[in-house]
Structure 1
């Protein structure tokens, strides 16, 4: 079971309130176990989810540990912070970083949380575990996305001085952004950092999964924003990259380039550094002169969303 804020909590799996008594929890577990068993029409996946939920909160000790686990207020602080890590470059120098990774998503999380709590309600700790887990999925997803963006930024920072990254890049409106733009010897990449809290896959030309609402089209929105940015800067992206937690994307997936849309790859986070360093099979690597020229264009043209 994922530790993502966007993931379904063990309480939700068992169908009880986080304030349920131990006895209510036990009764709910037994009931869900019977209902989800494959022999009575349930699925192996749901049966396994019920067992995992019980492992997380079934005993007083495990429940106390789960209930007390906090999500960080920020997991990225400049080029030295973060929860993810990358092997340092041989020179020990970090990538050039611009912008505030995760900043816009953090602010949206806080704004939505205050709106949900109600006008006049004082929130002493917006990162309190019980508050986060009781919030609607849309709010939890915003925090999960902020953490994903911060983790991606930390990985990028370890690539070395030959790389430059811009975070929270504006396109047309503050609500329409590219999470990361990365320039290096392998090319120019637009990156979407995501964490929907459960596995996703490519179906035809879109990302789908149990956690996505009907009508959500994250890949189409990402490609549109990247096209707008590329047109305004007069550049061409080598590829569009969607990066998600390893447990959400067990294997890399890709869509070939089509018309003016570059290739799209959906990869687990553990593969991001390799893709940014080595490029994508079959694609020509850029030259040093081209990287230097593009860096000036991007530095002069990129604008950032407001936090």
Structure 2
């Protein structure tokens, strides 16, 4: 079971309220075990999820620990426009000591703002929210709202990894994609090429089917790969730059192996990877791909720096 805000909580898996008594939890657990057991036609994944849910909230100690676990309200790796990671943060001080990548924009800022807007609408106008990241509030919110927070955390994690690549890399975050309504989470330029990156977390494993990603938490009409390609194409038209590849970064528990949608015509390849593979991809590039010259990277960086606009501009 994923720890993502977008994932089903143990209470949702067992089908009970967070205020359920210990006896109600026990009865729900036994019922869900019977319904999901593979011997009676249940799915093994659902059966395992029920057992993991019980491990997390089945006794008073583990339940209390889970209930007070808080989602962070400020990631220490956050990067602001024209700056490196916050110098006083624990993550920045404990990270690589050498020169860091040039970072511009505010990773996760747009998603966090959307999370707070939707949360206020859901709670009700005029209601004071003392802590918008309190665990009980987050877990009780609708999945759409929780997904906004999960996506913000995913973008911040990606930005932190990119920042450690070194001075040879430049990254822009929350980039306006020309006329497209959705921004591009990250644009990263380095010796291996120019990459557009989508950082996502749907709180569930994903599969690639007919060139599109699917997951239990995605609606049938959702087309994340298609929308990502459209946004990258709009930025390509606006700036006159060509991406080496489009990269979808997911939590490691969302997929076991990288997935790829081959490029079609002028469209670049779309690669779907677990987060632990991101640094290697940005350093080494795609198999068989020629690395760019220093002069080419320098010229392209100047063009991007002059042309990129941010969501907050």
Structure 2 length normalisation: TM-score? 0.94
Give the equivalent residue in structure 2 for 1:80.
85
Partner of 2:188: helix, strand, or coil? strand
Q: CA deviation at 1:80?
A: 3.4
Is 1:258 the counterpart of 2:237 in the alignment? no
> Which of residues 137, 145, 163 in structure 2 aligns to 1:139?
145
Partner of 2:65: helix, strand, or coil? helix
> Which of residues 94, 101, 104 in structure 1 aligns to 2:110?
104
> Contact between 1:88 and 1:159, CA under 8 Å: does it hold in 2?
no
Partner of 1:72: helix, strand, or coil? coil
- 1:54-73 correspondence to structure 2 within 5 Å: 54-73=54-73
Is 1:206 the counterpart of 2:212 in the alignment? yes
Alpha-carbon distance in 2 for matches of 1:202, 1:282: 23
Give the equivalent residue in structure 1 for 2:28.
28
- Would the alpha carbon gap of residues 117 and 83 (structure 1) be closer, same or farther in structure 2, given more than 3 Å must change? farther
Aligned residues: 305
Alpha-carbon distance in 1 for matches of 2:105, 2:20: 43
What does the per-residue CA deviation read over 1:133-178, in whole Å, with 9 as the maximum and x for residues that have no partner? 0000000000000000000000000000000000000024684100
Instruction: Name stretches of at least 5 consecutive residues in structure 2 with no aligned partner.
Output: none
Alpha-carbon distance in 2 for matches of 1:115, 1:174: 25
Alpha-carbon distance in 1 for matches of 2:118, 2:261: 34
Give the equivalent residue in structure 2 for 1:8.
8
- Would the alpha carbon gap of residues 255 and 174 (structure 1) be closer, same or farther in structure 2, given more than 3 Å must change? closer
Partner of 1:49: helix, strand, or coil? helix
Is 1:190 the counterpart of 2:196 in the alignment? yes
Alpha-carbon distance in 2 for matches of 1:205, 1:120: 44
Give the equivalent residue in structure 1 for 2:126.
120
Instruction: Name stretches of at least 5 consecutive residues in structure 1 with no aligned partner.
Output: none
Partner of 2:78: helix, strand, or coil? coil
- Would the alpha carbon gap of residues 88 and 17 (structure 1) be closer, same or farther in structure 2, given more than 3 Å must change? closer
Partner of 2:267: helix, strand, or coil? coil
Alpha-carbon distance in 2 for matches of 1:124, 1:173: 37
Alpha-carbon distance in 1 for matches of 2:65, 2:95: 33
Structure 1 length normalisation: TM-score? 0.96
- 1:88-99 correspondence to structure 2 within 5 Å: 92-99=98-105
- Would the alpha carbon gap of residues 174 and 21 (structure 1) be closer, same or farther in structure 2, given more than 3 Å must change? farther
Q: Bigger CA drift: 15-24 or 33-42?
A: 33-42
> Which of residues 292, 302, 305 in structure 2 aligns to 1:286?
292
Q: CA deviation at 1:284?
A: 1.4
> Contact between 1:164 and 1:295, CA under 8 Å: does it hold in 2?
yes
Partner of 1:62: helix, strand, or coil? helix
What does the per-residue CA deviation read over 1:6-51, in whole Å, with 9 as the maximum and x for residues that have no partner? 0011000000000101111011001111111122221211111110
Is 1:44 the counterpart of 2:44 in the alignment? yes
What does the per-residue CA deviation read over 1:270-306, in whole Å, with 9 as the maximum and x for residues that have no partner? 0000000010102111110000000000000000002
Q: Bigger CA drift: 38-47 or 123-132?
A: 38-47
Partner of 2:253: helix, strand, or coil? coil
> Contact between 2:250 and 2:275, CA under 8 Å: does it hold in 1?
yes
- Would the alpha carbon gap of residues 256 and 300 (structure 1) be closer, same or farther in structure 2, given more than 3 Å must change? same
